[in-house]
Structure 1
Amino acid sequence: MKGILYTGGELTDLVSFARLPSYLQAFLREQNGVVAYFGGLHIRGCVSEPAWHSLHAAWQGDAAFWRTYDEVQETDIPFAQDCVGNQFLLRGDAVLFLDTETGELADLEVDFKHFLFGVEKFPLDALGMEPLRGFQQRGGALQPGELLSLYPPLCIAATDQKPRVKPQSVAERLAWLADFYRQIKDLPSGQRIHLKPSQD
């Protein structure tokens, strides 16, 4: 993997580690999670701290994805996320993609090994890194523990408004996405909505 910003330290959450499939255990033994592609991919580790890197927090914590998103099952393992906070989940051996704005779940039709191959070969496409690329071209850089905030959200067909992009802590970004999803999940497609200006 290229552009590595962070690697997890030693395995400190052995309870979560024991529940993982053997191939994910093997990966985490090599490096206990990683932030790679300059923030384009974050694979979580089996750690207690920092919380933003903890697989347990994302999987079983108070803000676990299955507690918020209707399509996510408690057994789905949220092993990774992209630069804006969309999630990659393991369900059995299948890698699923969770759009954290809309809650839509898509089967990527690859296993973990082939997911990593695809990311390695085509990181821009596999990880939807266009917002990060634009942010970098304007001199921005993501730090470990940060995601990109996009406003207005991508799922909204704004007339001609390009999203404002800024770094935000992982916890704040994921909380904002979860709140947004709760507000829109029962609206029909094409519904007009009014966005209050975001607080900077």
Structure 2
Amino acid sequence: MKGIIYTGSELTDLVTLARLPTYLQAFLRAQNGVVAYFGGLHIRGCVAAPSWHALAQVWQGERALWRTYGELRKSDIPFGQDCVGNQFLLRGDAVLLLDTETGELADLDVDFKHFLFGAEKFPMDALGLEPLRTFQQAGGVLQPGQLLNLYPPLCLATNGRTAPASKAVPVAKRLDWLAGFYEQIKNLPDGQAVTLAPL
């Protein structure tokens, strides 16, 4: 992996580790999660702290993703996320992508090993790095524990009235905002007007 800005410390959450498939256990034993591609990919670790890096927080904790997003199962493992907080999950051996704005779930037709291979070979496409590249070209830098907040959200049509903006925000703050946004729009018909407060 390129552009590594954070590597997880020692394994401290052995309960979560034991629940993972053997290939993910092997990856995390070698490096307990990582933030790579200058913030474009975060693979979570089995740790108690920092909380933004802890797999258990988003898998089984109070703020577990399946508690918000109806398409998810309790057994789906949210092993990673992209620069804006879209989630990469394991369902069986398949890697899925959760769009955290809309709640849509897509099968990427790869296993974990081939997901990593694709990210290495085609990072811009595999990881959706365009927002991060634009942010970096404007002088922005993502730090470990941060995600990009995009405003307005990508799924909204603004008819050119609002210029898109991005800023670095703490992971928990971004994921909470996305969950609230999803809850607000999930039952709305297409074309419905919404009013949002920026993060």
Q: Same fold (TM over 0.5)?
A: yes
Query: What TM bracket, shorter-length normalisation?
Result: over 0.9
* Superposition map of 1:159-174 within 5 A: 159-160=159-160, 161-174=162-175
**Distance apart, 1:192 and its partner CA:** 2.2
Alignment partners' CA distance in 2, 1:101 and 1:52: 19
Structure 2 partner of 1:184:
185
**Distance apart, 1:189 and its partner CA:** 1.8
Structure 2 partner of 1:147:
147
**Distance apart, 1:194 and its partner CA:** 2.8
TM-score (norm 2): 0.98
Deviations 1:69-91 (A, max 9, x none): 00010000000000000000000
**Distance apart, 1:195 and its partner CA:** 2.9
Structure 2 partner of 1:137:
137
Structure 1 partner of 2:12:
12
Alignment partners' CA distance in 2, 1:64 and 1:147: 18
Deviations 1:27-48 (A, max 9, x none): 0011000000000000000000
Alignment partners' CA distance in 2, 1:134 and 1:94: 30
Deviations 1:105-161 (A, max 9, x none): 000010000000000000011111111001101111000000000011000011123
Task: Say yes or no: does 1:70 pair with 2:63.
Answer: no
RMSD, aligned α-carbons: 0.8
Alignment partners' CA distance in 1, 2:181 and 2:57: 20
**Distance apart, 1:190 and its partner CA:** 2.1
Q: Which moved more, 1:124-133 or 1:161-170?
A: 161-170
**Distance apart, 1:191 and its partner CA:** 1.8
Alignment partners' CA distance in 2, 1:194 and 1:58: 28
* Superposition map of 1:4-83 within 5 A: 4-83=4-83
Q: Which moved more, 1:152-161 or 1:74-83?
A: 152-161
Alignment partners' CA distance in 2, 1:68 and 1:163: 26
Q: SS at 1:95's partner residue?
A: strand
Q: Please tell me the residue identity of whatever aligns with 2:3.
A: G
Q: SS at 2:149's partner residue?
A: strand
Alignment partners' CA distance in 1, 2:142 and 2:45: 19
Structure 2 partner of 1:94:
94
Q: SS at 2:114's partner residue?
A: helix
Q: Please tell me the residue identity of whatever aligns with 1:135.
A: F
Mind listing any 5+ residue stretches in structure 2 that lack a counterpart? none
Q: Please tell me the residue identity of whatever aligns with 2:92.
A: G
Q: Please tell me the residue identity of whatever aligns with 1:168.
A: V
Alignment partners' CA distance in 1, 2:138 and 2:184: 32
**Distance apart, 1:57 and its partner CA:** 0.4
Mind listing any 5+ residue stretches in structure 1 that lack a counterpart? none
Q: SS at 2:62's partner residue?
A: coil
Q: SS at 1:119's partner residue?
A: helix
Structure 1 outlier segments of 4+, above 3 Å: none
Q: Give the % identical residues.
A: 72
Structure 1 partner of 2:114:
114
Q: How many pairs are equivalent?
A: 198
